[in-house]
Structure 1
């Protein structure tokens, strides 16, 4: 497949995409319920885009209550080939300053109240998450962000916390000791579900604060987050346009980590033991592998 259809999941502060031609909204429903909001479809140059605000317009859905499975399933059903997530985050290291961007490439999942897989009883699968981010897409997104003026850091570990409360001081210090670079509330299970759906995934993290570990800085609050978020979101919207324009002249190749066909090595339930109802539900996610 050489044609890009780019799915954009917009996080806090990013509720629209600029410059979309042939813009239209689609209300959809999946086997896992409705996504966070209507899908916004359009194109920039030769690239099709499908945009979904993670928290819904007006930021009405908490990190825990985001319908992650429905979101990924809706993007897969819409023909998306690759997903770029844009997410606000806190910095756990001095080098990542508020207003800067981090293309995280590793995650530690500390969430505990979310549905984290499409699979289950009657059809079990174990996908590899050793390399959770597509290096090709991540690099292209970082290049685009730099081109529009963002201070970009390539690589880093994202600690996903449950929320919606911010960290305690003890937690923030612990995560620093673990070697984490940024902290947020939404990249997990989003990245895991994208992998199960065989969708290459990358994330641009917009740093809004220093969490609460930095003694000389006021602890994170919504007030100071919103101020930085406005600046970051403007850059993020420009970066998406720049990325799409660059992709217009780039042939899509498979994810070098093998995400496009990862279910070939993940399905473990014997054909004779598979639940027909579960198989039917999984068609939009895993039909390529199940029917092959």
Structure 2
């Protein structure tokens, strides 16, 4: 039976309902991960859980040690990863509270340690990243969202920005022209690092605010926190259904 790892983002620093059997304080060649890797049982399955931003939530997106996180999950026995991401909505369908299971990503980040294949190498390695998300995992998430009667899009392009600031109106307009449907700060290099260590990876994105220029109001943390509070119950129900 597949051992799933769940990476929790903003709003999901702990997985309520997880019966913890071990908290693994792991060391990696890339330093320490964001938090201990929690091993336990959730929805009747053995799972691993890692809080991307630490617990408590303290590590900003551009300072997450993505390499250590993915390496630690692989070493702990993960066989597939479901990543939970809070995002902004660009496409008109992506309103607050809407879910998206992206099928593509555009990387606008810079300066992040983004590969395991560097330094003293025996040979140069290039991974095929044409389709960044595992299709079987995507199908499981889509089926679970439908079964939970959530409003969702089965496809979407995730635009990954550097953060920690939110984007300008002009930047969102550019991303929309590029074909992005949602915008977040943690989708990359997490997805490609999983590919480099041969871990199937898919993303469950919850829209927590309209992107810059998609509303006349200012984007506030209070608004985002309300959307997270309202949406995380559904996130947990979807995860439970996938695992069961």
Q: TM-score, normalised by structure 2?
A: 0.95
Between the aligned partners of 1:96 and 1:77, the Cα distance in structure 2 is 36
Following TM superposition, by how much is the alpha carbon of 1:209 offset from its aligned partner in structure 2, in angstroms? 1.0
Which aligned pairs between 1:244-259 and structure 2 lie closer than 5 A?
244-245=243-244
Between the aligned partners of 1:114 and 1:43, the Cα distance in structure 2 is 33
Between the aligned partners of 1:46 and 1:59, the Cα distance in structure 2 is 27
Following TM superposition, by how much is the alpha carbon of 1:238 offset from its aligned partner in structure 2, in angstroms? 1.5
**Unaligned residue ranges in structure 1 (runs of 5+):** 246-292
The structure that has the greater radius of gyration is 1
Q: Does residue 1:219 correspond to 2:218, yes or no?
A: yes
Could you list the structure 1 runs, at least 4 aligned residues long, displaced by more than 3 angstroms after superposition: none
Counterpart position of 2:152: 152
Q: Does residue 1:39 correspond to 2:34, yes or no?
A: no
Equivalent of 1:86 in 84, 87, 90: 84
The 3-state SS of whatever aligns with 1:23 is strand
Structure in which a larger fraction of residues adopt helix? 1
Counterpart position of 1:230: 229
The aligned length equals 242
Between the aligned partners of 1:121 and 1:29, the Cα distance in structure 2 is 19
Following TM superposition, by how much is the alpha carbon of 1:218 offset from its aligned partner in structure 2, in angstroms? 1.4
- Deviation string 1:230-265 (CA, Å, 9 cap, x unpaired) is 1111111121111111xxxxxxxxxxxxxxxxxxxx
The 3-state SS of whatever aligns with 2:163 is coil
Between the aligned partners of 1:192 and 1:235, the Cα distance in structure 2 is 27
- 8 Å CA contact 1:14–1:237 kept in 2: the answer is no
The 3-state SS of whatever aligns with 1:14 is coil
**Unaligned residue ranges in structure 2 (runs of 5+):** none
- 8 Å CA contact 1:4–1:47 kept in 2: the answer is no
The 3-state SS of whatever aligns with 2:129 is coil
Following TM superposition, by how much is the alpha carbon of 1:16 offset from its aligned partner in structure 2, in angstroms? 1.8
The 3-state SS of whatever aligns with 2:77 is coil
Counterpart position of 1:288: none
Counterpart position of 2:49: 51
Between the aligned partners of 2:38 and 2:147, the Cα distance in structure 1 is 25
Q: What's the Cα RMSD here? A: 1.3
Q: Tell me which moved more, 205-214 or 18-27.
A: 18-27
Following TM superposition, by how much is the alpha carbon of 1:23 offset from its aligned partner in structure 2, in angstroms? 3.3
Q: Tell me which moved more, 149-158 or 200-209.
A: 149-158
Following TM superposition, by how much is the alpha carbon of 1:178 offset from its aligned partner in structure 2, in angstroms? 1.3
Q: TM-score, normalised by structure 1?
A: 0.80
Q: Tell me which moved more, 43-52 or 191-200.
A: 43-52
Between the aligned partners of 1:9 and 1:82, the Cα distance in structure 2 is 11
